[in-house]
Structure 1
């Protein structure tokens, strides 16, 4: 019998999360002389005003992503709080060595802000897809990683990142949940149940809520995956069954080691839903079709949950 469950539609304003970032970033540039912005051609139109008003702190290096990260490292060494922004594959994958050396090895802080997510623009092909970005950043020490699920979560996450001194990765998406939720760094419990815990990361929440409707499970939400809220997960498992399913909008299993560490002294079962590691989708299609292939739509999540809970 055909499953009629569907994933809730994505936000029709495909630039809204990026525009929320641009508005918050422009305000920060106006108010804090320590803040700088480095671009690589992408989103330049959204920063036309700060490019004119703050030419000493807003730099467009053109399509030179490795140089962009190097420039940010130099700005950080001279006391600025640099923000680096472009598409995820160009920011993280192409410039990974510079992130590792010019930022991490130099011991300086910066805020990396990406767009494109795993496959937000499949019509542009594999060059614009980066499902491995969070896993790559997670391979480096000391990074905070935010994956907002709603435009209203972007500004507080960015404000908190700019106020600090460390390394932060803010992953923006064209996908959006229906509602925003607190961005405290702690997991937010939206439902309580006895059969297990489902953790929804960022823009996967609406699909998770649809998939778990009527199922006796606890649903947690977070837009912050590093640091991972070990305490919050342990508390949720203590009041439910030790079965944990994490739904993440990037490579499946990226947070598996964090779940294992959080529950190291507890006998538990865990499973991940995310972008599949055993295949590469070579068809263009739509983001919703990619979700279906990877089991990240509501029907796929529900199917995995049924199998997992037995």
Structure 2
């Protein structure tokens, strides 16, 4: 479904997505005896009070990421709704076998919440980079993926994730948009309308895309829930822009190309994928520098979109 709405208000929001997530999850642990938190030494300070109040449902397994996911899977089998958390490369890439076996194969589900995104802590070097995480989840059926663009978007996404019966991967980042936006139930929120192409942007890259497309005759639609991608809404929007689609994602370039191809298998279309490049940069400056070198800053995105619609 396509939505056209005003952004959420930004009153009294925590500084980071992780702050917003931890505060809301602590409230959910207090309110719902089904909710359990499993940590791997990361963010434990944010759950100090919750651990004292619920030592049986706030568990720190130490720096053992495979155990983190395995323990969460066991809690799911026992009827709880586990929320497991650590850095993205350790949660998804290192423990992918446990996700595959302890959740998917066992027929259970939980909520996996990462920090670090593609290169948030660039100073930590390649060991802490995870642009491939969403692509890995695409190999497993039925997982919902949330990629908030602002701290204020995190609590409603978390509420839906905890209340759901499906597996949910929530990708938190230090990169963020200036303002939050309300995207009802994973739809596409249209923020700008044009005729030359439909630009779909995921999560924290929205501000860059809005700056990049200023003055261009393109539609810009925002989502913070790229899985399941609202392909029905995408088809509706693209029909007015010549079925020219641009996907701008804060993870591996081309991750959503297969979904777009499937959505348009009955009609010709053009697709430009913009995301994190597949080659390692081997430069460990700031996250903003990595964004620029991958062409994900406003200037880099504008150059590619202009050439695409020319």
Which residue matches 1:144? 144
Which ranges of 4 or more aligned residues in structure 1 deviate by more than 6 Å? Answer: none
Which residue matches 2:186? 185
Within a 5 Å distance, the mapping from 1:53-68 to structure 2 comes to 53-68=53-68
Q: Mark the runs of 5 or more structure 1 residues left unpaired by the alignment.
A: 1-12
- Is this contact kept in 1: 2:116–2:129, CA < 8 A? yes
Q: Please give the alpha-carbon distance, in whole angstroms, between the structure 2 residues aligned to 1:79 and 1:236.
A: 41
Q: Please give the alpha-carbon distance, in whole angstroms, between the structure 2 residues aligned to 1:307 and 1:236.
A: 21
Q: Please give the alpha-carbon distance, in whole angstroms, between the structure 2 residues aligned to 1:230 and 1:122.
A: 33
Normalising by structure 1, we get a TM-score of: 0.94
Distance change >3 Å, CA 54–CA 14, structure 1 → 2 = closer
Secondary structure, aligned partner of 1:224? coil
Q: CA deviation at 1:241?
A: 2.1
Q: Please give the alpha-carbon distance, in whole angstroms, between the structure 2 residues aligned to 1:24 and 1:263.
A: 38
Residue 254 of structure 2 is aligned to residue 253 of structure 1: yes
Which residue matches 2:161? 161
Q: CA deviation at 1:263?
A: 1.5
Q: Please give the alpha-carbon distance, in whole angstroms, between the structure 2 residues aligned to 1:138 and 1:20.
A: 26
Within a 5 Å distance, the mapping from 1:279-294 to structure 2 comes to 279-294=279-294
Which residue matches 1:172? 172
Q: Please give the alpha-carbon distance, in whole angstroms, between the structure 1 residues aligned to 2:55 and 2:226.
A: 34
Q: CA deviation at 1:15?
A: 5.7
1:188-213 Cα shifts (integer Å, max 9, x gaps) = 11011000111110000000000000
Distance change >3 Å, CA 119–CA 15, structure 1 → 2 = farther
Within a 5 Å distance, the mapping from 1:231-270 to structure 2 comes to 231-270=232-271
Secondary structure, aligned partner of 1:226? coil
- Is this contact kept in 2: 1:117–1:171, CA < 8 A? yes
Within a 5 Å distance, the mapping from 1:81-230 to structure 2 comes to 81-183=81-183, 184-230=185-231
Secondary structure, aligned partner of 2:97? helix
Distance change >3 Å, CA 14–CA 300, structure 1 → 2 = farther
Aligned CA-pair RMSD: 1.1
Which residue matches 2:73? 73
| 94-103 vs 173-182, greater mean Cα deviation | 173-182
| 258-267 vs 34-43, greater mean Cα deviation | 258-267
- Is this contact kept in 2: 1:137–1:143, CA < 8 A? yes
Q: Please give the alpha-carbon distance, in whole angstroms, between the structure 2 residues aligned to 1:130 and 1:146.
A: 15
Which residue matches 1:10? none
Secondary structure, aligned partner of 1:266? coil
Q: Please give the alpha-carbon distance, in whole angstroms, between the structure 2 residues aligned to 1:190 and 1:138.
A: 27
- Is this contact kept in 2: 1:178–1:206, CA < 8 A? yes
- Is this contact kept in 2: 1:198–1:244, CA < 8 A? yes
- Is this contact kept in 2: 1:15–1:174, CA < 8 A? no
- Is this contact kept in 1: 2:153–2:180, CA < 8 A? yes
1:55-90 Cα shifts (integer Å, max 9, x gaps) = 100100000000011100110001000000000001
Secondary structure, aligned partner of 1:216? coil
Q: Please give the alpha-carbon distance, in whole angstroms, between the structure 1 residues aligned to 2:68 and 2:150.
A: 27
1:136-175 Cα shifts (integer Å, max 9, x gaps) = 1111111000100011110000000101111000000001
Which residue matches 1:5? none
Q: CA deviation at 1:271?
A: 1.0
